[in-house]
C-alpha cells in the first residue's frame, strides 16, 4: 500500500491535505514484528508512531498497586 493511501485511511490524518500527507509519508518506514515480539514498553519515550497495516497487536497495561 502506498504511503499516501495508507495515511488517508487513518482517521487522525483525515483532514490533512495531500501536501501535508506527503510530508508525513516521507518519514514513514516499514517494520515487521514476529508474533509475541515486544514492540514497546509502558513508560518508554513516545518518539515513534506505529500504524498497524497488517495483523494485530495486544496491549497490556501494568498497574502499580495503590498505597493505602
The answer to whether the CB of 62 falls within 8 A of the CB of 41 is no
**pTM of the shown model:** 0.71
The answer to whether the CB of 22 falls within 8 A of the CB of 4 is yes
| 3 band by pLDDT with thresholds 50, 70 and 90 | confident
Length of the chain: 68
What pLDDT, in 10s, does the model give residues 4-25? 899 999 999 999 999 999 999 9
Cα four-point dihedral sign 68, 44, 7, 22: positive
Give the side-chain half-sphere CA count within 13 A for 59.
Answer: 5
| 36 band by pLDDT with thresholds 50, 70 and 90 | very high
Amino acid at each position: 500500500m502506498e504511503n499516501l493511501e495508507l495515511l488517508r485511511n487513518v482517521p487522525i490524518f483525515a483532514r490533512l491535505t495531500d501536501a501535508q500527507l506527503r510530508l508525513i509519508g516521507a518519514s514513514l518506514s516499514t517494520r515487521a514484528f514476529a508474533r509475541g515480539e515486544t514492540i514497546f514498553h509502558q513508560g518508554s519515550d513516545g518518539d515513534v508512531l506505529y500504524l498497524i497495516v497488517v495483523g494485530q497487536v495486544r496491549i497490556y497495561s501494568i498497574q502499580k498497586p495503590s498505597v493505602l
